[in-house]
Chain A
Amino acid sequence: MIRKLMTAAAMVALAASLGTGKAMAGKANDTLVWATDREQAVIDPYYNNTRELVIIGQTIWDMLLFRDLDTGEFKPLLATSYKWVNNTTLDFELRKDVVFHNGKKFNADDVAYTINWVANKDNGVLTYKNVSWMKSAEKLGEHKVRINLHKPFPAALPYLSNAVAIMPTGHYDNAPKKPDGKPDIGAIKPVGTGPYKFVNLKVGESLTMAKNDNYLKGSPKGQPQIGNLVFRTIKEMNTQMAELLTGGLDWMWDVPKDQAEKLASRVQVVNAPTMRVSYIQFDTNGKSGQDFFTKKKVRQAFAHAVNRQSIAKNMVGGASVVTHSACHPVQFGCAQDVPQWNYDPAKAKKLLAEAGYPNGFTFDLYAYRQREFTEAVIGDLAKVGIKANLKFMQYRALRDLVWKNQTPVNHMTWGSNSIPDVSAITSHFFSGGRDDFAKDPDVIKSLEIADTSTDPALRRKEYKKALSKISGELYWLPMFTYAKYYVFSNDLDFKVTPDEIPRFYTAKWK
């Protein structure tokens, strides 16, 4: 204890006596520094389910396949080809010229090891929903591997190109043990085959990655151009902007619309769509103790009272669009020709009166993200006589309340892990699980058929049936798609993509 205190005292003196440190961002240092407000303690895409790790996961690791965003086509990446043997068996031929960052040569053992590890529920993968459709993998040859599915899963290719990073054989085997005997994943040095390799992590401060000079030639990802990538955690948005303006940072996102517009004369500002959608979820069973929303007319009144178009265009950004079904319009199967609820305050008042609330009522509205968007909803509701008490909290706390059915109405968002398939959102929320308030048997049945069919036409038909019922009954009020403001240095040549996964490995200096 005393030694630690003395060490701490010495570090105080050291901290105070260090020389002036200049920011290391920018073209001159060949270092792209990007920041978000979330710190990352575990650098592993299977054991950290934040957006940052989706991005870092595609930077340090490669998948078997690569999805071309321009064409929607699935191209080989670590695989050279794939073939559906039957509805539940998928064979891959693998590349022979891939090397991991630690020098180990890539082969079928690595794919089989990774998939067998992550598909095993006992291993506690946090992103288990992304891999639970795989039963096992088996080596068929030095560079040939087979993936066995539990049941037909038509969204396999999107998941394999987005969410199944390949680790070297034995990656998790020698992890130090935590006091409870489980492997300490965060203590494992990240090793992949991707365009950038891990250099160091300072928890709460930064993650440094360096260009992989031996990156796979001919990769559909292209070759990395910038020497170093540094991810920084800066909690305060104003501080991020200040750093960007003074050269301490090269790239940031999630900038509020008004502030982004003011920055446009000094740095590059882009508003781009994302895969995230906003929605309102109603307690249709009255389990929360407030039973207003068990009445369909009240939900209809709510839907007619909120000016979603105005919120999307004036607050979210030009790339945002109003949605009508419980998914993102670019996802496979996301039909938009479902029952729609236009902005009509007069009709809302009429429906309220018919439901027995001519003078409105007061309820609790829960939210966790972009308070101003929820406040706009509350303002619209007030105009028709509905008073909402805003309960704004951290996501984790709100999610727990939702799972306990304690929220009469909650304003939520979902990013689908950027998976371009309805199964990543609608099936997640309406298949009878703990997020599903409605537990509608018709919806559950349609989703079950669509999620396990390999016939695209049948899938579209069943998803449409489910989505029509969800929108028609207003289990959810779909709100709008998110659009992000990206702000980055004038020196940076960076292409913004519509799936909320910035590809830093394609960035270069002008």
Chain B
Amino acid sequence: MLIYASKRFGIAVLVAITVSLLSFSLIYLSGDPAMALAGESATQEDIENIRRVYGYDQPLVVQYTNWLTKALVGDFGYSNYMRVNVADIIFARLPTTMTLGGCALLFALVLSIPLGVLAAMRPNTMIDRFALSLAVVGQALPSFWFALILVFWLGITWQVLPITGTASWLNFVMPSVALGYYITPAVMRLTRAGMLEVLTSDYIRTARAKGLRPPVVLFKHALRNAIIPVVALAAVQFGFMLGGSIVIETIFAINGLGYLAWESIQRGDLPMMQAIVLILACFYIVLTFLADMLNAFLDPRIRVG
């Protein structure tokens, strides 16, 4: 396990270094960063001053090392547009996005895993068809459209849920459902497929022949094996929801990280873009690493192989 963990950790570190290089190079995508920061009415003197103050006159290797060293201790620079340290605004908005992503993932898992298990236990029955229909609708329905339907019925017509903001847990219900429903089909199909395969395997037949109770066979022996790819998928989807919730955050006026990324691109807020890309990518890397570890814990064949 230790050797496997070390290998995966090494790969994660290499990916993180590659991502950091890409994030760093973002600042040069729009040309001269000193000119971009100085603004439209800046004089050559202003531009040179900014170049010196921000260290853009140093060799690229030195710039990258300085930037990475600061980033590792949470110093991502200063946002000229927002007039704050980038880290302050990101860490202020991160909880909102984490809450939204976590709630959406919870909703997706709570809905899709039981449905996937039920569908696998009763293949080609009404339950299976219902689960399949739910998956098809979830896959086909654009999340913004589903969000607006929720707003119309739950927010305007019945007025049971608040529409915008993050003032209470109730504010997160509609956005979580809208965001989580989008990943439900993938998780459900994977659970169903895994369970179908596992339920027809020899060791399950043996467990049943030993006279074990059906719930024990199902949850202790079958689901534990079928859930392995779901864990990996859920980790990746969580990463997707952290960075990809722009539309949902816009509709429900939630000031999260995804929305901040979109705004920063529009404003040309380069330090903010760099930091968001780096942080979200690191989340992906950490989540993937954790998923690998969990998979290895659940299935010894992985760590041996």
CA distance A203 to B98 in the complex (A): 20
B156 neighbours in A (Cβ, 8 Å): 242, 245-246
CA distance A294 to B260 in the complex (A): 42
Residue of A nearest to B262 (CB): A235
B50 neighbours in A (Cβ, 8 Å): 180
Is A267 among interface residues, defined by CB-CB distance under 8 A? Answer: no
Is B53 a contact partner of A179 (Cβ separation < 8 A)? Answer: yes
Interface residues in A374-425 (C-beta closer than 8 Å to B): 394, 396
**Would A184 and B171 be within 8 Å (CB), given that A21-B165, A239-B163, A246-B163 are in contact?**
no
CA distance A451 to B170 in the complex (A): 58
Interface residues in B257-281 (C-beta closer than 8 Å to A): 259-260, 263, 266-268
Is B162 among interface residues, defined by CB-CB distance under 8 A? Answer: yes
Is B83 a contact partner of A184 (Cβ separation < 8 A)? Answer: yes
A 469-503 binary contact with B (CB < 8 Å = 1; else 0): 00000000000000000000000000000000000
Partner of B96, one of A15, A17, A187: A15
B253 neighbours in A (Cβ, 8 Å): 232-236, 239
Is A7 among interface residues, defined by CB-CB distance under 8 A? Answer: yes
B96 neighbours in A (Cβ, 8 Å): 15
Smallest beta-carbon distance A3→chain B, Å: 9
Interface residues in A149-193 (C-beta closer than 8 Å to B): 178-181, 184-187
Is A11 among interface residues, defined by CB-CB distance under 8 A? Answer: yes
B 70-83 binary contact with A (CB < 8 Å = 1; else 0): 00111000101111
Is B250 among interface residues, defined by CB-CB distance under 8 A? Answer: yes
Partner of A41, one of B46, B83, B91, B159: B83
Is A16 a contact partner of B53 (Cβ separation < 8 A)? Answer: no
Smallest beta-carbon distance A413→chain B, Å: 18
Is A21 a contact partner of B151 (Cβ separation < 8 A)? Answer: no
CA distance A279 to B92 in the complex (A): 42
Is B41 a contact partner of A15 (Cβ separation < 8 A)? Answer: no
CA distance A7 to B255 in the complex (A): 18
Smallest beta-carbon distance B249→chain A, Å: 9
CA distance A9 to B98 in the complex (A): 9
Is B251 a contact partner of A21 (Cβ separation < 8 A)? Answer: no
Smallest beta-carbon distance A472→chain B, Å: 32
Is A124 a contact partner of B87 (Cβ separation < 8 A)? Answer: no
Is B82 a contact partner of A41 (Cβ separation < 8 A)? Answer: yes
Is B98 a contact partner of A8 (Cβ separation < 8 A)? Answer: yes
Is B229 among interface residues, defined by CB-CB distance under 8 A? Answer: no
Q: For the complex, count residues of A whose C-beta is within 8 A of B.
A: 48
Is B236 among interface residues, defined by CB-CB distance under 8 A? Answer: no
Is A1 among interface residues, defined by CB-CB distance under 8 A? Answer: yes
Is B168 among interface residues, defined by CB-CB distance under 8 A? Answer: yes
A1 neighbours in B (Cβ, 8 Å): 72-74
Is B168 a contact partner of A18 (Cβ separation < 8 A)? Answer: yes
**Would A7 and B91 be within 8 Å (CB), given that A1-B74, A12-B99, A205-B255 are in contact?**
yes
Smallest beta-carbon distance B34→chain A, Å: 10
Is B94 among interface residues, defined by CB-CB distance under 8 A? Answer: yes
CA distance A400 to B29 in the complex (A): 16
Interface residues in B111-160 (C-beta closer than 8 Å to A): 148, 151-152, 155-156, 159
A17 neighbours in B (Cβ, 8 Å): 169
Is B67 among interface residues, defined by CB-CB distance under 8 A? Answer: no
Is B289 among interface residues, defined by CB-CB distance under 8 A? Answer: no
Partner of A18, one of B46, B82, B169, B252: B169
**Would A204 and B163 be within 8 Å (CB), given that A178-B78, A242-B155 are in contact?**
no
Is B251 a contact partner of A186 (Cβ separation < 8 A)? Answer: no
A 34-77 binary contact with B (CB < 8 Å = 1; else 0): 00000101100000000000000000000000000000000000
Residue of B nearest to A182 (CB): B46
Is B83 a contact partner of A42 (Cβ separation < 8 A)? Answer: yes
**Would A243 and B163 be within 8 Å (CB), given that A128-B41, A178-B78, A234-B253 are in contact?**
yes
A4 neighbours in B (Cβ, 8 Å): 74, 87, 91
Residue of A nearest to B103 (CB): A16
Is A204 a contact partner of B80 (Cβ separation < 8 A)? Answer: no
CA distance A14 to B168 in the complex (A): 9
Is B99 a contact partner of A179 (Cβ separation < 8 A)? Answer: no
CA distance A20 to B168 in the complex (A): 5
Is A23 among interface residues, defined by CB-CB distance under 8 A? Answer: yes
Is B164 a contact partner of A124 (Cβ separation < 8 A)? Answer: no
Interface residues in A224-265 (C-beta closer than 8 Å to B): 232-236, 238-239, 242-243, 245-246, 248
Is A8 a contact partner of B53 (Cβ separation < 8 A)? Answer: no
B252 neighbours in A (Cβ, 8 Å): 239
Is B304 among interface residues, defined by CB-CB distance under 8 A? Answer: no
CA distance A124 to B49 in the complex (A): 15
B84 neighbours in A (Cβ, 8 Å): 203
**Would A16 and B169 be within 8 Å (CB), given that A7-B91, A41-B82 are in contact?**
yes
Is A19 among interface residues, defined by CB-CB distance under 8 A? Answer: yes
**Would A12 and B80 be within 8 Å (CB), given that A21-B165, A205-B255, A242-B155 are in contact?**
no
CA distance A185 to B82 in the complex (A): 11
Q: Using A235-B259, A246-B156 as known contacts, list a sample of 5 further A-B pairs with CB atoms less than 8 Å apart, ordered by residue number in A.
A: A16-B103, A18-B168, A185-B83, A235-B250, A246-B159
Which 8 A-B residue pairs are closest in the complex by CB-CB distance? A21-B167, A11-B95, A1-B74, A186-B83, A12-B95, A20-B168, A234-B253, A21-B168
Binding site for B on A (CB under 8 A): 1, 4-5, 7-9, 11-12, 14-23, 39, 41-42, 124, 128, 178-181, 184-187, 203-205, 232-236, 238-239, 242-243, 245-246, 248, 394, 396
Would you mind naming 27 contact pairs between A and B with Cβ atoms under 8 Å apart?
A1-B72, A8-B94, A9-B98, A16-B169, A20-B167, A20-B168, A21-B171, A22-B162, A41-B82, A42-B83, A128-B41, A178-B80, A178-B83, A181-B53, A185-B83, A187-B83, A203-B84, A232-B253, A233-B253, A235-B253, A236-B253, A238-B151, A239-B164, A242-B163, A248-B164, A396-B267, A396-B268
